[in-house]
Amino acid sequence: MPEPKTTAKPRVGLFVTCLVDLFRPSVGFAAVKLLEQAGCTVEAPAAQVCCGQPAYNSGDRADARAVARDIIDAFRGYDYIVAPSGSCAGMIREHYPLLFAGDAETEPRARDLAKRTYELVSFLVDVMKVASVPARFDGAVTYHDSCSGLRELGVKGQPRALLKTVQGLTLKELPGAEACCGFGGAFCVKYPEISNRMVADKIADAAKTGAGTLLAGDLGCLLNMAGKATREGAALDLRHVAEVLADMARDLPPIGKAKV
């Protein structure tokens, strides 16, 4: 792991992600707050749109490359690129080098970007050595491990370690925490019945914990799970883990719920 720079504040380019941008900007601001608390300077380059997964996972390499090139350009010069998503960070870190394999001009730039790119919570813990957060959340929560973060980036212990330092919070392990929630990008609309079964199982598992809140680190999974929870009338709040860690949950209704 690279050491945080001691002389100057690390300059972080925030990869907002298209879902956070559109659906839940508060997650982006939570990320900014956490990164600044950790001693980073944060910018959100205006030229960023999407990491390219919709095209890449649909087999459209040409469009995926075009979109990825723009991201590589947009994030030139930052010490780190941090995303509040294991899926988008995994795309840049693991798949950009594959996408440009054999492209003499772009492959080295893709590799360079890849090694500077992190998922938010693992960046805080592994790179910035954050050991605790000044946050309070009264209640029991459980945590879903989103697939890309877990299996591509090894995000597992980091969010749990920080959650345990939140005052008032009790963490209950989710049975089947590592099982996919059924989102899978376009999968959830291409195969809605299968996706429904998977997300219904996830909500049922979360209910078994007795926790009132289900957290995760990826907004795609969270929109899927929150949409199922409200449809079923489950007594379950869904939140991005960054909202809780940044102590912003008090002023923000859970995903898919109205302000009271």
Partner 1 sequence: MSFAQNPMSRSFKANAGAALRDRTLQRAMGYLGFREKRLEAVARLPEFEALRDQAREIKNHTLAHLDFYLEAYEAKVLESGGQVHWCRTPDEARRAVLALCRSVGARTVTRGKTMIGEEIALNPFLEENGIQPVETDLGEYIIQLRSEPPSHIIAPAIHVTKEQVAETFLAKHAAYGKTRLLTEPREMLEEARGILRDKFLRADVGITGANFLVAETGSSIIVTNEGNGDLTQLLPKIHIVLATPEKLVPTLEDASTILRLLARSATGQEYSVYTTVSTGPRRAGDLDGPAQYHVVILDNGRTAMLGTEFQDMLRCIRCSACLNHCPVYNAVGGHAYGWVYPGPMGSVLTPSLIGVDQAGALPNASTFCGKCESVCPMKIPLPKMMRHWREREHEAKLSPVLARWGLKAWAFAARRPLLYRAMTRWAAAILGALGRRHGNLANLPLASGWTEFRDLPAPEGKTFHALWAERGR
Q: What residue ranges bind partner 1 (CB under 8 A)?
A: 16, 18, 20-26, 28-29, 43-44, 46-50, 52, 54-61, 63, 66-67, 70, 98, 147-148, 151-152, 178-180, 182-199, 223-224, 226-228, 230-231, 253, 255-259
Shortest Cβ 141–partner 1 spacing (Å): 18
Shortest Cβ 260–partner 1 spacing (Å): 10
Shortest Cβ 195–partner 1 spacing (Å): 7
216, β-bridge pairs: 240
Distance CA 49, CA 196 (A): 28
Shortest Cβ 47–partner 1 spacing (Å): 5
- Asked if 86 and 148 count as a contact pair (C-beta separation under 8 A), the reply is yes
Shortest Cβ 225–partner 1 spacing (Å): 9
Q: Which is nearer to partner 1, 20 or 141 (by Cβ)?
A: 20
- Asked if 116 and 48 count as a contact pair (C-beta separation under 8 A), the reply is no
Q: Which is nearer to partner 1, 7 or 62 (by Cβ)?
A: 62
Shortest Cβ 139–partner 1 spacing (Å): 19
Element (H, E) at 73: helix 61-74
Torsion angles phi and psi, residue 118, rounded to 5: -140, 155
Element (H, E) at 233: none
Provide DSSP, 92-130.
IIIIHHHHTTT-TTTHHHHHHHHHHEEEHHHIIIIIS--
Q: Which is nearer to partner 1, 126 or 145 (by Cβ)?
A: 145
- CA angle in degrees (0–180, nearest 5) for 238-15-242: 30
Q: Which is nearer to partner 1, 129 or 197 (by Cβ)?
A: 197
Q: Which is nearer to partner 1, 9 or 61 (by Cβ)?
A: 61
Q: Which is nearer to partner 1, 127 or 219 (by Cβ)?
A: 219
43, β-bridge pairs: 13
Among 88, 240, 101, CA closest to 252: 240
